[in-house]
Amino acid sequence: MKLNLENGQNIFFTSDTHYSHKNICRSVSNWKDVNGNVPVKQTRDFKSLSHMNDYIVNSINNVVKEDDILFHLGDFSFGGFENIEEFRSRIVCKNIHLVLGNHDHHIERNKDNIQRLFSSVNQYLRLSISIYPGTTLYRGDYDFILSHYPIASWHNMNDGVMHVHGHVHLPAHLKIHEGRAMDVGCDGNVMEPYSVNKIVSLLNNRPIKCLTLPQDHHEERIEGNGGNKKGSSSF
């Protein structure tokens, strides 16, 4: 996919919003660790599910405007088919491109033509962005590989192509990897999307290097009341 930014237009990236996912919301979660407590690392500190949902929506709408472009790298919503359209209707941005995550089953199957809500739906995406004078962003041409999952090596990595992904829910201090790769999930970024300007500033001068894949938070899931076996992928 090739995009030319117009004056005043911006591009943003986010992932793993998990809109309306009850178990990820600490105050109402049924997940338990070996001590019978709700695990802190795998949950978000909100007083209610509606509080979490409102915070996610506001965090997107406060930075991504109607005519901007938002790339969402998967796990859009949770807890029922109806939450897909509810969440999408609350986001003001008209241009959302979705890269499918492991929880986007209804969207992948295009149930009731739900893909109509998005500008595009992909499993994996090669993205080229041209930014011209007149914008407030870094000028130039930038290439990205987008996927829900982090990958160790990617197309044209040796030419400086950057890789952005989600899935692993990393905290802020672990989001940037050894090379030109980054977790753009909303966890660790106060639920806000990252602008292309921010990502280029963080990655464009980093060394070209394969990833040592980050630890996957799914490996730490402990079986318990309402929980899942270690190694499952409910988050």
Q: What is the pLDDT of residues 157-180, one digit of tens each?
A: 999 999 999 999 999 999 999 899
Radius of gyration of the chain (CA): 18
Per-residue confidence band for 217, with pLDDT thresholds at 50, 70 and 90: low
- Position 223 scores a pLDDT of 39
CATH architecture of 2-220: 4-Layer Sandwich (3.60)
Q: Is the pLDDT of residue 206 over 90?
A: yes
CA atoms of 93 and 81, how far apart (whole Å)? 21
Beta bridge partners of 145: 126, 163
Q: What is the mean pLDDT of residues 115-132?
A: 92
**What mean pLDDT is reported for the chain?**
88
- Residue among 11, 6, 31 nearest 144 (CA): 11
First to last CA, the chain: 29
Per-residue confidence band for 231, with pLDDT thresholds at 50, 70 and 90: very low
CA distances from 180 to 107, 108, 209 (A): 29, 28, 7
Written as one letter, the residue type at 124 is: Y
Q: Is the pLDDT of residue 48 over 70?
A: yes
Q: pLDDT tens for residues 178-204?
A: 899 999 999 989 999 999 989 998 998
CA distances from 199 to 4, 11, 63, 134, 188 (A): 17, 10, 15, 19, 15
pTM for the structure as a whole: 0.89
CA atoms of 208 and 187, how far apart (whole Å)? 26
State the residue for tokens 């941005």.
93
Beta bridge partners of 143: 128
- Position 133 scores a pLDDT of 53
Per-residue confidence band for 33, with pLDDT thresholds at 50, 70 and 90: confident
- Residue among 161, 183, 154, 158 nearest 74 (CA): 183
Q: Is the pLDDT of residue 62 over 70?
A: yes
Beta bridge partners of 14: 72
